Amino acid sequence: MDGTAECQICGRELQAETESSEWVVVGSVSDQMTADFAREVLASCEIPAVVHSRSGFFGTVGLPLPSFYKSGAAPFELSVPQSLVDEANEALTSALGDRWLKKEV
């Protein structure tokens, strides 16, 4: 075995990292379709990303339920590795414009 593995979901080759990378929330969008598009934008830039729904208990399935945390629509947050935050913000701002709510650090 050469030390590589494949993702069980997408089949992409996984490479072992020598040090653990911290993931951080870079911002949010208001709906599932935009969240999916944002994830595809990041994937095209070879930036791994995870989308989290803030709609409460059913958030992992992306249901558009009211937020338990605050009033208004439940946002979908995007997380990327800490080392790729600047590249992710640039790509998302270019692709999504005002649909992208960048998290201020």
Q: What tens digit of pLDDT does each residue of 56-97 get?
A: 544 445 455 554 555 555 588 999 999 999 999 999 999 999
User: Does residue 31 contact residue 76 with C-beta atoms inside 8 Å?
Assistant: yes
Domain range annotation of the chain: 19-102
The answer to whether the CB of 78 falls within 8 A of the CB of 25 is: yes
Residue 6: band (very low, low, confident or very high) from pLDDT cuts 50, 70, 90: confident
Please state, in angstroms and rounded to a whole number, the distance separating the CA atoms of residues 4 and 89.
29
Percent of the chain with pLDDT over 70: 68
**pLDDT given at position 100:** 86
Strand-pairing partners, residue 77, are: 28, 52
CATH superfamily of 19-102: ACT domain (3.30.70.260)
Helices 32-44 and 85-96 cross at an angle (nearest 10°) of 120
For residue 53, what pLDDT band results from cuts at 50, 70 and 90? confident
